[in-house]
Chain A
Amino acid sequence: MKLVTIAGPPSSGKTAVTVKAIASLQQEGVQVGVVKFDSLSTQDQALYEKQGVPVTTGLSGNLCPDHFFVSNVCDCLSWGVQKGFDLLVIESAGLCNRCAPHIQGVLAVCVIDNLSGVDTPKKIGPMLKMADVVVITKGDIVSQAEREVFAYRVRQVNTNATIMNVNGLTGQGGHELGRLLVDAPETVDLAGKLLRFSMPAALCSYCLGQRKIGSDFQMGNVKKMAFP
């Protein structure tokens, strides 16, 4: 089975472009399944179901969504194999820009939108910088000049990626994205594979449920800001 990870900031259009790409693949008879990761709640399951896509949702609740993703990714793969999919798409929540669910040897897609501003590409870490495919959305509502500058800024931080524009509303570019997704390498087993980049360290008293503020209550991996 082919496997793809799709990540991007909240509301960048991950689900919309994924649905369009899958719709185009379905017409060619490709069996596609989706696992959607989110933190609190998501309506995206319904969007996939409406398109007739088998989908499972994983809610991380009070755990870090990306750590939750890695802990469950092998089971996602098994589910996809058991269902007999040709292609499994794992859509992550992508909440902090420092995180990335991308795995070595697995096609990695990052979705970002033009509306987030031309400085955004430099603010996003490995999720963008280590992606194989960068999908830029919401191009229809910004000027041509902004589109060109935005694409250039993406290229600056990820010189090797395939950069494409997809319109999540009209579906323009969705067919082309679908072609890239089905060309993903086959993934038989994930055990032992490496994440493309380590996830942010997070093991302090607050991870463990502490609510009180003040240095007496800070333990573990604590980092202090420097003030001028």
Chain B
Amino acid sequence: MPTNRVEKSLSTIPMAELVQRAPFVEDFFTSHGLALPGEGVSPSAYFAALDSELLEDLGLERQGLTERFMAYMELLEELKAGSGGSRIESITIRGGHDKSGQPEALELTIKPGEVVCIVGPTGSGKSRFLADIEWMAQADTPTGRSILINGRIPDPGQRFSIEHKLVAQLSQNMNFVMDLTVEEFITMHAESRMVEDVSTVTAAIIDLGNDLAGEKFTPRTPVTALSGGQSRALMIADTSCLSTSPIVLIDEIENAGIDRKRAVHTLVDKRKIVLMATHDPILALMGDRRLVFKNGGISAIIATSAVERANLALFEEMDAKLGAVRNALRKGERIEKTG
């Protein structure tokens, strides 16, 4: 929604000056299929002089163009203002009811830096729970849940704001559909976030991704050539640095090609709220709490106990053993030793 952050006379300023103020201003013209205005020409003057036939061909209306331009400049301002990090201090979920109408007696507050695991069989309501958070439900979804941001009912306008999107999802079956190198890909994302120093941020993300990935990749590796683990590592690095969403949902991290523990810690360090749908014991016990889903509702909240934490060490040992066997297989060795 327009917040009148930008001055009204903006569209009468010559392009050369506008570009100095906001380098991304040129994108408005290219994204609408228009040639760039000359340096000394203001957007308003440029729109007035456009050929009617060209506008007809492009499917644009002259009288709406200045308005669209101003809305775009507002968007740029909003994105710049929003890139200072999330200002979300807590998210509270007030219980609704399960599929049979049984009340869900809970009020759950999650803060940045927390890891919460989500467990339960398929169809138990895990996706609906995330959808409730994303939609900032106000007792207007099938579960009747309500979501509070920083202890307050959120402004309804935030529901559709791409700048305030609450949940970033790192799903297991994600693909890259673009044929770009790692560097081009991250650069494109950084540019859409209006970050100040695109190349530094891009390099930092690629380094971080490489830290998390088992096998290294270079800035010139095509994203489509990355392994599953490398893709996941790159996306965790990318999301932790570039996404403005305060919540990151991870559905399972496969046990190959990525340091799972460090991946989760990376997100925690960046003050993300990490929601992890997992039935992997090591990941599940890394969480502070786990939400148990049943019949569309949260049936229990289990805080990870000291005994469970102690068991984590045991599971990690077992995991390391299995990992060693896997490596031996990869190297073409016999796996007759089990000790």
Which residues of A are interface residues toward B (Cβ below 8 A)?
24, 27, 98, 100, 114-115, 117-118, 121-122, 125-126, 129, 139-149, 151-153, 155-157, 159-160, 162-164, 170, 172-173, 175-176, 179, 197-198
Q: Which residues of chain A are near B135, meaning CB under 8 Å?
A: 176
B177-A144 in contact (CB<8A)? no
Q: Does B174 contact A (CB under 8 A)?
A: yes
A146-B178 in contact (CB<8A)? yes
Q: Which residues of chain A are near B171, meaning CB under 8 Å?
A: 140
Q: Which residues of chain A are near B315, meaning CB under 8 Å?
A: none
Q: Closest residue to B189 on the A side, CB-wise?
A: A145
Q: Which residues of chain B are near A159, meaning CB under 8 Å?
A: 68, 71-72, 74-75
B63-94 vs A, CB cutoff 8 Å, 1 = contact: the mask equals 00000100110110000000000000000000
Stretch from B29-37, B146-154, B262-270, B319-327 at the A interface: B29-37
Q: How far is the CA of A159 from the CA of B135 in the complex (A)?
A: 20
Q: How far is the CA of A118 from the CA of B191 in the complex (A)?
A: 13
| Neighbour of B75 across the interface among A155, A170, A197, CB < 8 A | A155
B174-A149 in contact (CB<8A)? no
Q: Which residues of chain B are near A147, meaning CB under 8 Å?
A: 169
B176-A162 in contact (CB<8A)? no
A202 CB to closest chain B CB (Å) equals 13
Q: Which residues of chain B are near A143, meaning CB under 8 Å?
A: 174-176, 231, 235
25 examples of A-B residue contacts, CB within 8 angstroms: A117-B177, A125-B58, A129-B60, A141-B177, A144-B170, A144-B235, A145-B186, A145-B242, A146-B176, A146-B177, A148-B192, A149-B192, A151-B162, A152-B192, A156-B27, A156-B28, A156-B31, A156-B75, A159-B68, A159-B71, A160-B71, A163-B160, A164-B160, A172-B130, A173-B131
Which chain B residues in 200-242 approach chain A with CB under 8 Å?
231, 235, 238-239, 242
Q: Closest residue to A154 on the B side, CB-wise?
A: B162
Given contacts A140-B171, A157-B32, A173-B131, contact A98 B189 (CB under 8 A): no
Q: Which residues of chain B are near A126, meaning CB under 8 Å?
A: 59
B177-A149 in contact (CB<8A)? no
Which chain B residues in 5-41 approach chain A with CB under 8 Å?
27-28, 30-33
Which has the most chain B C-beta neighbours within 10 Å: A98, A143, A163, A198?
A: A143
B31 CB to closest chain A CB (Å) equals 5
B61-A197 in contact (CB<8A)? yes
B127-A172 in contact (CB<8A)? yes
B168-A98 in contact (CB<8A)? no
Given contacts A122-B30, A146-B178, A172-B131, contact A141 B173 (CB under 8 A): yes
A100-B175 in contact (CB<8A)? no
Q: How far is the CA of A175 from the CA of B160 in the complex (A)?
A: 14
B146 CB to closest chain A CB (Å) equals 15
Q: How far is the CA of A170 from the CA of B127 in the complex (A)?
A: 9
A121-B31 in contact (CB<8A)? yes
Which chain B residues in 77-132 approach chain A with CB under 8 Å?
127, 130-131
B162-A122 in contact (CB<8A)? no
Chain B interface main SS type: helix
B89 CB to closest chain A CB (Å) equals 23
Given contacts A140-B171, A156-B27, A198-B56, contact A148 B243 (CB under 8 A): yes
B239-A144 in contact (CB<8A)? yes
Q: Closest residue to B191 on the A side, CB-wise?
A: A149
Q: Which residues of chain A are near B27, meaning CB under 8 Å?
A: 156
Which has the most chain A C-beta neighbours within 10 Å: B168, B174, B243?
A: B174
A158 CB to closest chain B CB (Å) equals 8
A3 CB to closest chain B CB (Å) equals 21
Q: Does B255 contact A (CB under 8 A)?
A: no
B235-A122 in contact (CB<8A)? no
Q: Closest residue to A24 on the B side, CB-wise?
A: B142
Q: Does B188 contact A (CB under 8 A)?
A: yes
Q: Which residues of chain B are near A122, meaning CB under 8 Å?
A: 30-33
A36 CB to closest chain B CB (Å) equals 24
Which has the most chain B C-beta neighbours within 10 Å: A27, A126, A129, A152?
A: A152
Q: Closest residue to A128 on the B side, CB-wise?
A: B59
B169-A144 in contact (CB<8A)? yes
Q: How far is the CA of A44 from the CA of B31 in the complex (A)?
A: 33
Q: Does B141 contact A (CB under 8 A)?
A: yes
Q: Closest residue to B186 on the A side, CB-wise?
A: A145
Q: Does B47 contact A (CB under 8 A)?
A: no
Q: How far is the CA of A146 from the CA of B121 in the complex (A)?
A: 29
Q: Which residues of chain A are near B127, meaning CB under 8 Å?
A: 170, 172
Q: Does B308 contact A (CB under 8 A)?
A: no
B131-A179 in contact (CB<8A)? no
Q: How far is the CA of A160 from the CA of B69 in the complex (A)?
A: 11
Q: Which residues of chain A are near B140, meaning CB under 8 Å?
A: 179
Q: Which residues of chain A are near B72, meaning CB under 8 Å?
A: 156, 159
Q: Closest residue to A180 on the B side, CB-wise?
A: B160
B276 CB to closest chain A CB (Å) equals 15
A148 CB to closest chain B CB (Å) equals 7
B329 CB to closest chain A CB (Å) equals 29
Q: How far is the CA of A155 from the CA of B193 in the complex (A)?
A: 12
Q: Closest residue to A98 on the B side, CB-wise?
A: B59
